[in-house]
Amino acid sequence: MTTHRHDWYTSEGYDGGLHHCKKCKLSSQGERIATPCPVSDAEHHAVAWLGQAGLYPTRFDAVRNFEQSIRPVSANELFELASKQVLSQLNEGRQHA
């Protein structure tokens, strides 16, 4: 079971308000639901998804490509992966020259 917290915002302030989770899109009238959020902060802020076959722009794309294990990638991680790839390609080019 997950222990992630919901990221609530409130609209319609009457009758206790209508609360929405920015991460899982759950809505609750009146009191905010106390159950854990199924979406982690990392998943919510992911800019890409990394699977066995490589990077995917969305989780859906990874699943559609039958990836069994994927993980969210942050903007910083994506930059690091891209930098390593570029350095690798530059080094490979120098070896062939």
Encode the chain (97 residues) as per-residue pLDDT tens digits: 558 889 898 887 777 789 899 988 899 888 888 888 988 888 888 999 999 999 999 989 999 999 999 999 999 999 998 999 899 999 887 877 6
Count of domains for the chain: 2
pLDDT of residue 2: 58
**pTM of the predicted model as reported, rounded to 2 decimal places:** 0.62
Q: Are 88 and 65 members of one domain?
A: yes
Q: Environment class of residue 4 by beta-carbon count within 10 Å: exposed (0-12), middle (13-18) or buried (19+)?
A: middle
pLDDT of residue 14: 72
Domain containing 15 equals 8-40
Q: Are 80 and 64 members of one domain?
A: yes
CA distance 12 to 62: 37
Instruction: Name the residue among 2, 11, 34, 38 with its Cα closest to residue 23.
Output: 38
Q: Are 51 and 85 members of one domain?
A: yes
The residues, ordered by sequence, that sit 6+ positions from 15 with a Cβ below 8 Å of its Cβ are 29, 30
| Percent helix, percent strand, percent coil in the chain, to nearest 5 | 35, 25, 40
pLDDT in tens, 40-65: 888 888 999 999 999 999 989 999 99
